[in-house]
Every structure is written in C-alpha cells, then in structure tokens.
Amino acid sequence: MTHLWLRAEQRDNEDRTGLTPEGAAALIAQGMEISVEDSPDRIIPTDRYADAGATIVPQNSWPDAPRDAIIFGLKELPDDGTHLPHRHIMFGHAFKGQHSGRRLLDRFKDGGGTLYDLEYLVDEQGRRVAAFGYWAGYAGAAVSLFAWAAQQQGQTCGPVSAYPDKDALLKDLAETLDATGVERPSAIVIGALGRVGTGAADLCAAMDVTPTKWDMDETAHGGPFPEILQHDLFLNCIFARPGTPVFVPKDALTAQRRLTVIGDVACDPDSDYNPVPVYSQATTWDAPVTRVHDAPPLDVMAIDNLPSLLPLESSQDYASQLLPSLKTLDKLDAGVWARAERTFREHV
C-alpha cells in the first residue's frame, strides 16, 4: 500500500499545504494510507484531515516515519546535515546551480533517499503539472507596490504578514496606495504570458496600474533593456535558467533611471543565472526589501515564499493541480514521478 506522509512545514511564515482534506479523502478512497502531521500553522485545521479519514501524527515526526513512506511537504527541510533515507516530495531548490543545493543532494546521496522535486514534476511536453506561480506573481506585485508606496513617504517597506484571503489584501493595498496622494506608478512585467506574470499583471490591474507586458519576443535579443529603467516598478516573473538574459545589470544602479522598485518574484539570487544581479540574498517577511542604492533609491523585493501571503487561495489552487499526479504515486516508475527521479539522479 502506498503511504503518503504530509509533514508540517518547519519554516517561519509558511501556512500553505499541497494536500487538502478533500484530496486526502480521494487518495484514501483509492486505497492509499495517509498520515498527516499535526500543525498549528497550516491554513487548514488538522481536524479536517482527521474527518477525511487520515491518521494524525505528531508535528515534525517525519524523520521517524516508516522507510517506505513518501514524505510530502512544500518548503525546504532544516539544513542540519542529517542523512535523508526517505523518498521526499518538496521544492528542493537544488538543480539550478543554487549554492546550498549541493548540501541537500549530498544528504540524499548519503541517506539513500530520493527527491521528487515539485518544480520538476512535468508532463511529456516538459510543462509543470502544478505550480504556485499565479499567486506568487499576485502577492509579489502587491508587496512591490507596498514598497513603492513606502518610498513615497520617504520610508522603506515594513513587515508583511499573511492575509485571510485576497479581498483583505486588495483592500489594504488600495488604501495604502491612495494614502500616498500621488498617481499610480508605472510598471513593467517580464514573463507576462506565464502563470507568474499573469498573477502579477492581474494584481496591477486590480490596483489601477496598467503594466507594460513583456515576454519572450521582447527579450529574445538578449539585452540590454533600457526600457526597464524607464518604469517605476519592474516585476521579474521569469525563472532563472541557462540562457536567461540579465535584465538589470549592476551598472543600472548608477544609471539615469526612473526605476525605484524591483520585484524579483522568481527570486533566484543564489543561482548562477540570476537575471537581477544587483542583489545576492532573498528578503524576508520582516524586511521585505533590500535597498541596493540610494539617491535615487532602488529597493529589491525578493521574498521566496510569496504565495504564503495568501495561503488559502494558493493552497486550494495548487492542491487541485497536483492531486491527479498524487493519485499515480503507486506507479513511481512511470509518468511524472519517473521523470522527476531521472532529473534527481542526473544531479545527485
């Protein structure tokens, strides 16, 4: 019997989940065993999983799970160097040249476990079967606008926190922008045709910001891209990979520019392919931006778990996308799981 173990997230400000109670019930009905760790932070209460028929286990008990259990979480594990003998489904951030990724892969190699990276669960055409992209773009554009509004008051963006739903976010942001007393900023979205860019553009539209929308055609020449500097906000919605051009080079800091906020929604500062090399470290909920230049200011927003600002909508959306693949966990040697394992073996 396939045993799926939903672990509690161990990262601060992470309330999302990749499996809803309804999804758990569907897997149980199919014959799977479902264990769910208790979690006071998960946006969906634990008792709803119990009502769905899942077995509730203690928080963070996954290291002691049966070896044949498949451990499922979203964000990274504690970076404690322990060996990883289980099969894990999660975002590993280890295959794109991230400097911390090698440590994670070594832990799997030493423990004999396997990583099924959620970013690399793809169909036969190489398209991801599930992604948080839309809500990352939506929340990332919102925080970037909060950062711009703070600049109008001579400040930097203060701490952010999760919202119960998107309507609460939109109300808060609209009031904050209106309080500046100035016209809405100009914005450019690169990757506007993808899920991330669509979310960013939709948020902008909800705030009466009409963005310039760029995608592959506009960036195919490889740069430079002086048009980016002519906007107040730049929202990068293209994930770093070999061949990704540099959108904002380091010399842009001292160049003549209107640009004062970069929302690096893709957030790959630890990658060799970072297309926004004016910063080198992700930002946090407590400090959402890092100021990389003064007079005129340039703030970079690079929170790497943006969908967590809207944990309810993002969890429901992602879980519904992923469930069809979870239903095939009894066939790990085929389909999306076999492709993900091959990617892992190539890198480990």
Write down the H helix ranges in 153-275: 166-179, 195-206, 216-219
Q: Give the Cα separation of 17 and 12 in Å (integer).
A: 14
The DSSP letter of residue 230 is: G
Beta-carbon contacts of residue 89 (< 8 Å; ≥ 6 apart): 18, 70, 71, 72, 73, 116, 118
**Do 52 and 22 form a contact (C-beta atoms < 8 A)?**
yes
Token pair recorded at residue 287: 């400090």
**Does 86 participate in catalysis according to the annotation?**
no
Let me know: does 95 contact 120? Beta carbons within 8 Å: yes
Residue 179, classed as helix, strand or coil, is helix
Annotated catalytic residue, options 86, 93, 166, 231: 93
CB atoms within 10 A of CB 164: 11
Phi-psi region of 131 (alpha: psi -120 to 50; beta: other; left: phi over 0): beta
- Phi-psi region for residue 295, left (φ > 0), alpha (ψ -120 to 50) or beta? left
Residue 309 CA to residue 15 CA, distance in Å, equals: 9
Q: Could you give the CA distance from residue 101 to residue 148 in angstroms, rounded to a whole number? A: 33
- Which three-class secondary structure state does DSSP give residue 233? strand
Q: At which residue do the structure tokens 């293209």 appear?
A: 238
Is position 93 annotated as part of the catalytic site? yes
Q: Residue 273, Cα to own-chain centre: how many angstroms?
A: 17
Three-state DSSP string of 115-168: EEEHHHCECCCCCECCCCHHHHHHHHHHHHHHHHHHHHCCCCCCCCCCCCCHHH
Element containing residue 191 per DSSP (H, E): none
State the distance between the two ends of the chain, measured CA to CA, in whole angstroms.
Answer: 28
The catalytic residue positions are: 75, 93
